[in-house]
Amino acid sequence: MATSMGCLVVLCLVSPLLLAGAVLGNPGYGGGGGLFPQFYDHSCPQAKQIVHSIVAQAVARETRMAASLLRMHFHDCFVKGCDASVLLDNSTTIVSEKDSNPNKNSLRGFEVVDQIKAALEAACPSTVSCADILALAARDSTILVGGPYWEVPLGRRDSLGASIQGSNNGIPAPNNTLPTIITKFKRLGLNVVDVVALSGGHTIGLSRCTSFRQRLYNQSGNGLADSTLDVSYAAQLRQGCPRSGGDNNLFPLDVVTSTKFDNFYFKNILAGRGLLSSDEVLLTKSAETAALVKAYADDVHLFFQHFAQSMVNMGNIMPLTGSKGEIRKNCRRLNNFH
């Protein structure tokens, strides 16, 4: 009886969300209006192939680049929408988001974006936006390491500014509480399914010691390790992440298959082996998110389906379309750069 009740609870929690977030789709704040996958079919028919080719070369050189490019799209969309504001360097008029707390010494892959942009400018000058490059590169990166395919709606334009304040305040942080994380998603028109599904992007990539140190030594201000962390896993982490120093030492977010896009991230959370506090709270702080963690751990196809839809939802956040913004010739600076 307990088993069947457990299943009922999971179904009760997942099914309405699945309908809202994964089947009907969530258009995102601002609706993603005007975006469609065929946007460049006439103006730059080789655009998708150019992006895929350069991303494939970059991921072949360094598998970690897949996670880096996926994360860059996420950090772009959560600040002023998916408008490539994250790519702008400092200038007389721009305070770069690259220097924000979530991005400084952490966000990477800018050279790959530069390479893609140069190839696209050679093939189709002033046509494909940097914002669309980030959306396509995130999708291609996911596929290249074994994740799901999705059609990427296109037609975003590039911002004329950046927001370091928005980057500092709007991007979910590893030590945020679950209500704070959910609020940051809901502000942008995303829902709880999007929170858990997109957190599954942590099935690939690495994290710095500074992002989870408090879990190893002083989670609740009592000088003790996080009680939800597997004891042997915590001991293993402490070897490379001391109380002080080693801030930039890197650890896999998915301790089992760190270079393969799969559902081990969720299985790890169930075993007390989620790396970040923001991973672990998905299981321990909400029945709704816990049901999704368990559902994705049980069914990789469900996770892939929801992740793909949530990536489209995220990519639809407040795009600049029509005559808004511009198509940058160089992703690091505005066209009227001076």
Tell me the C-alpha distance between 180 and 275, whole Å. Answer: 19
Residue 52 falls in the annotated catalytic set: no
Question: What is the identity of the amino acid at 54?
Answer: I
- Tell me which of 73, 75, 202, 306 is the catalytic residue: 75
* CA distance readout (Å), 114 to 56, 119, 131, 217, 308: 15, 9, 12, 40, 26
How large is the greatest C-alpha to C-alpha distance in the chain, in angstroms? 70
State the pairing for strand pair 206-208/250-252. antiparallel
> Alpha helix locations (H) across the chain?
2-17, 47-61, 64-77, 110-123, 130-144, 164-170, 178-186, 192-199, 213-217, 231-240, 264-270, 277-284, 287-298, 300-315
Tell me the C-alpha distance between 303 and 23, whole Å. Answer: 13
CA-nearest of 171, 131, 123 to 153 is 131
Work out the end-to-end distance of the chain between its first and last CA atoms, rounded to an integer number of angstroms: 70
Catalytic residues: 75
